[in-house]
Amino acid sequence: MAKVNNPWKTLKKKEKYDNPWIRVEEHDIINPGGGEGIYGKVHFKNKAIGIIPIDKEGNTWLVGQYRYTLDEYSWEIPEGGGPVHEDMMEAAQRELKEETGLTAKSWEIIMKIHTSNSVTDEEAFIFLAKDLTEGDAQPEESEELKVMKLPFDEALEMVMNGEITDSMSVAAILKLARMRENRLNEFN
């Protein structure tokens, strides 16, 4: 793919807010049409991590929790964050164990996505985890989680009927469904 030159010009950046997870910046810019304006940017200090665990029978695990920012309950693949400098595989292994109690011997990164690229630079990495061993979950203090084991096809149906709306979960489940079609319905 050919390199594209940036049509935006940044005149000045101002930090508006900072905490251990995010930094919010306001940029004074010249837009591609030549007009002056402002652009807000949310910089994430962690990489987003998502995991789709699949067992030999084609089951997966979803994690349910109340999402404060949305003021509603959400079913999602196991997810979390890893510091930018941490190995993403190690972060994925930690998050899977923390949220579900599962460990996996087989790992495959299946996608990288930008979660909301009009306002944030957040990157998400999605892993497929197989050859699973069950154990005890170890949720963080800020997490009140419910864990549900179900056939992958039911999770896919939850995406299709709008029960799963988390962008990482939707993208990951749809990607894995397509991968499964290409692999002749084989997860193992």
125-132 mean pLDDT = 98
Structural contact between residues 176 and 164, judged by C-beta atoms closer than 8 angstroms? no
- Reply yes or no on whether the pLDDT at 188 is more than 80: no
The answer on pLDDT for 103 being more than 90 is yes
Same structural domain, 129 and 95: yes
Measured CA to CA, the distance from residue 73 to residue 143 in angstroms comes to 12
φ, ψ at 137 (rounded to 5°): -70, 155
Distance CA 154, CA 180 (A): 14
Q: Is 135 contained in some domain?
A: yes
How far apart, in whole angstroms, are the C-alpha atoms of residue 47 and residue 58? 28
Q: Is the pTM of this model over 0.85?
A: yes
Confidence band, pLDDT 50/70/90 cuts, at residue 106: very high
Instruction: Read off the pLDDT of each residue in 32-37 and give the average, rounded to a whole number.
Output: 95
Q: Are residues 53 and 105 in the same domain?
A: yes
pLDDT-derived band at 143 (thresholds 50, 70, 90) equals confident
What is the spatial distance between Cα 70 and Cα 82, in angstroms, rounded to a whole number?
22
pLDDT over 70 at 149, yes or no: yes
β-pairing, 59-67 with 22-30?
unpaired
Q: What is the CATH number of the domain that holds 163?
A: 3.90.79.10
Confidence of residue 140 (pLDDT cuts 50, 70, 90): confident
Residue 68 lies in a domain: yes
pLDDT at residue 186 in the model: 55
Amino acid at 124: A
Helices (H), 37-115: 88-100
User: What's the domain count of the chain?
Assistant: 2
What DSSP state is assigned to residue 157?
H
Q: Cβ neighbours of residue 117 under 8 Å, at least 6 residues apart?
A: none
Q: Which domain holds residue 126?
A: 46-112+122-182
Q: Is the pLDDT of residue 139 over 80?
A: no
Q: What is the mean pLDDT of residues 111-130?
A: 95
Q: What is the CA 146 to chain-centroid distance, rounded? A: 18
Structure tokens at 141: 């203090």
Same domain, yes or no: 21 and 99: no
